[in-house]
């Protein structure tokens, strides 16, 4: 049984940290974690190791977060959107068009602001170690292209179970439809929803392009993945073991960013080959459309964070 797993096990002269996630073994995050495992063996001379459990072997993202909280799993990958219920600061990543470029986004994630948001997870009994690239989310539709915000009006759009994602579609006068990812293919096929939104590799690997062939790279949200570790496990590591883990994690982040860029370009090329119509609309109308949402959020708990992040977008 899953609950019988030990997050950290001593096997002879070395310790093994168990790491679970829901992604397949071809995903850039899994490959980066494999790289992390290899680097950790080198840095620790085999004294600290990782054992990976991909493909949802240990349950859903939510299941694994709960396993971390009770100390039955060492580490996992989770979307920042899935952490909104645990850590209110994570909501800021779902604010549409908060980041004006990839450079802006990574400048923030690698800054004191990014570190502050990772530290804010600690009261939830786990700690954020690092961010991994999950690209930007864009609209794909079954019948027509989203070229301007008005094209979303009246459309049923599948979104993650995230309040911020729902607010985005509401702002564009669409009908936000939270739905499990695994149910979306059939929902598109049966006309339950008119479209959805995601990054290119997810859109391609899910085969949603077979039904929804209109892909608009409007890139309204850039929500990172987060590697988190159980506080119980982190507190059990001595200072030398923490340094080994941090170095291996840094290597994994760099590796994953390279792999993600390759996966994104490959997905776009294959989508084009499959007959998908791909456009890059002018983002200015979309920026204008979300201004009222930004105004409302400026008075919320994430308002100060938003302002600091926006300031980093104009300073070099």
What is the pLDDT, as a whole number, of residue 6? 59
Find the helix or strand (DSSP H, E) in which 141 lies: strand 137-141
How far apart (Å, rounded) are the C-alpha atoms in residues 12 and 2? 23
pLDDT tens across 229-272, in order?
A: 999 999 999 999 999 999 999 999 999 999 999 999 999 999 99
Q: Identify any residues that bridge with 214 across adjacent strands, giving them in sequence order.
A: 141, 277
Structural domain spans, the chain: 2-86+121-133+224-265, 137-222+270-314
What is the pLDDT, as a whole number, of residue 9? 61
What is the mean pLDDT of the segment spanning 95-102? Answer: 96
pLDDT tens across 156-186, in order?
A: 999 998 889 999 999 999 999 999 999 999 9
Non-local (6+) Cβ contacts of 197 within 8 A are 137, 138, 139, 140, 157, 158, 159, 220, 221
pLDDT at 1 over 70: no
Query: CATH topology of 2-86+121-133+224-265 equal to that of 137-222+270-314?
Result: yes
Residue 129 burial (CB count, 10 A): 19
pLDDT tens across 57-90, in order?
A: 999 988 999 999 999 999 999 999 989 889 999 9
pLDDT grade, residue 4 (50/70/90)? very low
pLDDT at 3 over 50: no
pLDDT tens across 122-146, in order?
A: 999 999 999 999 999 999 999 999 9
The pLDDT > 90 percentage for the chain reads 90
What is the pLDDT, as a whole number, of residue 91? 94
What is the mean pLDDT of the segment spanning 190-208? Answer: 97
What is the pLDDT, as a whole number, of residue 114? 98
Please state which CATH number belongs to domain 137-222+270-314: 3.40.190.170
Q: 3.40.190.170, 3.30.565.10, 3.30.70.20, 3.20.20.70: which CATH number matches 2-86+121-133+224-265?
A: 3.40.190.170
What is the pLDDT, as a whole number, of residue 316? 46
Name the region of 49 (left: φ>0; alpha: ψ -120 to 50; beta: rest). beta
Residue 75 burial (CB count, 10 A): 27
pTM, to two decimals = 0.92
pLDDT at 7 over 90: no
Query: Would you say 164 and 90 are in contact if contact means Cβ atoms under 8 Å apart?
Result: no
Q: How far is CA 183 from CA 18, 23, 147, 167, 175, in A?
A: 29, 17, 26, 21, 17
């Amino acid at each position: 049984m899953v609950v019988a797993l030990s997050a950290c096990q001593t096997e002879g002269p070395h310790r093994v940290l168990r790491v679970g996630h829901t992604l397949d073994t071809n995903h850039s995050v899994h490959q980066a974690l494999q790289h992390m495992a290899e680097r950790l063996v080198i840095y620790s001379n085999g004294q600290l190791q990782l054992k990976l459990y991909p493909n949802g072997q240990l349950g859903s993202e939510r299941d694994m977060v709960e396993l971390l909280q009770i100390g039955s799993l060492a580490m996992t990958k989770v979307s920042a959107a899935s952490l909104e219920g645990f850590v209110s600061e994570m909501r800021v990543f779902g604010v549409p068009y908060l980041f004006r470029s990839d450079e802006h986004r990574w400048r923030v994630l690698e800054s004191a602001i990014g570190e502050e948001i990772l530290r804010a997870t600690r009261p939830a009994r786990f700690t954020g170690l690092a961010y991994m690239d999950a690209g930007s989310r864009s609209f794909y539709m079954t019948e027509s292209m989203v070229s301007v915000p008005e094209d979303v009006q009246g459309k049923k759009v599948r979104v993650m179970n995230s309040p911020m994602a729902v607010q985005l579609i509401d702002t564009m006068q669409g009908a936000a439809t939270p739905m499990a990812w695994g149910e979306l293919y059939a929902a598109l096929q049966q006309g339950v929803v008119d479209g959805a939104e995601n990054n290119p590799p997810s859109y391609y690997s899910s085969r949603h392009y077979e039904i929804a062939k209109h892909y608009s790279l409007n890139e309204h949200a850039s929500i990172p993945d987060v590697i988190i570790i159980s506080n119980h496990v982190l507190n059990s590591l001595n200072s030398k073991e923490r340094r080994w883990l941090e170095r291996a994690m840094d290597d994994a982040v760099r590796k994953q960013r390279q792999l993600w860029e390759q996966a994104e370009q490959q997905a776009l090329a294959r989508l084009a080959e499959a007959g998908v119509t791909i456009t890059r609309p002018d983002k200015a109308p979309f920026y204008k459309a979300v201004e009222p949402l930004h105004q409302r959020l400026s008075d919320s708990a994430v308002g100060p964070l938003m302002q600091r992040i926006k300031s980093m977008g104009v300073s070099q």
